[in-house]
Amino acid sequence: MKYLLLIYMDENAMSDTEREHCYGESAQLAQDLHTQGQFLATAPLHPVATATSVQVRDGKSLVTDGPFAETREQLGGFFLVNAQDLDEAIAIATRIPGAKVGTVEIRPVIEVTGLPAQP
């Protein structure tokens, strides 16, 4: 089953050096998961200041600068993985460096038929 592991943290919680170290650890985790056939995708996100939100109501688009919600922690990145079950997804989430300073939310992915194949 596919799980999306969403990494939330205060985007100012790490220095630039700590962030680069975190990226390196995340890349190593991605390699380890790839070797085990569990890796699908990962990426850090640009800061919240670069976010744009879109809503469509009554056929009209509303585009605003900034994140969808103002919170103490921001969505900073993600891992998309294959795991046998929630317990295995939890085990992977505990290995994500961002879990040391933030929170990793685990969400099962609904497999929808008829979508184009992922690369």
pLDDT digits (tens, 9 = 90+) for 73-107: 889 999 999 999 999 999 999 999 999 999 999 99
pTM of the predicted model as reported, rounded to 2 decimal places: 0.88
pLDDT greater than 70 at residue 119: no
Task: Please name the fold of domain 2-108.
Answer: Alpha-Beta Plaits (3.30.70)
pLDDT of residue 113: 86
DSSP letter string, 50-109: G-EEEEEETTEEEEEES-SS--SSEEEEEEEEE-SSHHHHHHHHTTSGGGGTSEEEEEEP
111 confidence band (pLDDT: 50, 70, 90): confident
pLDDT of residue 36: 97
Cα distance between the two ends of the chain: 17
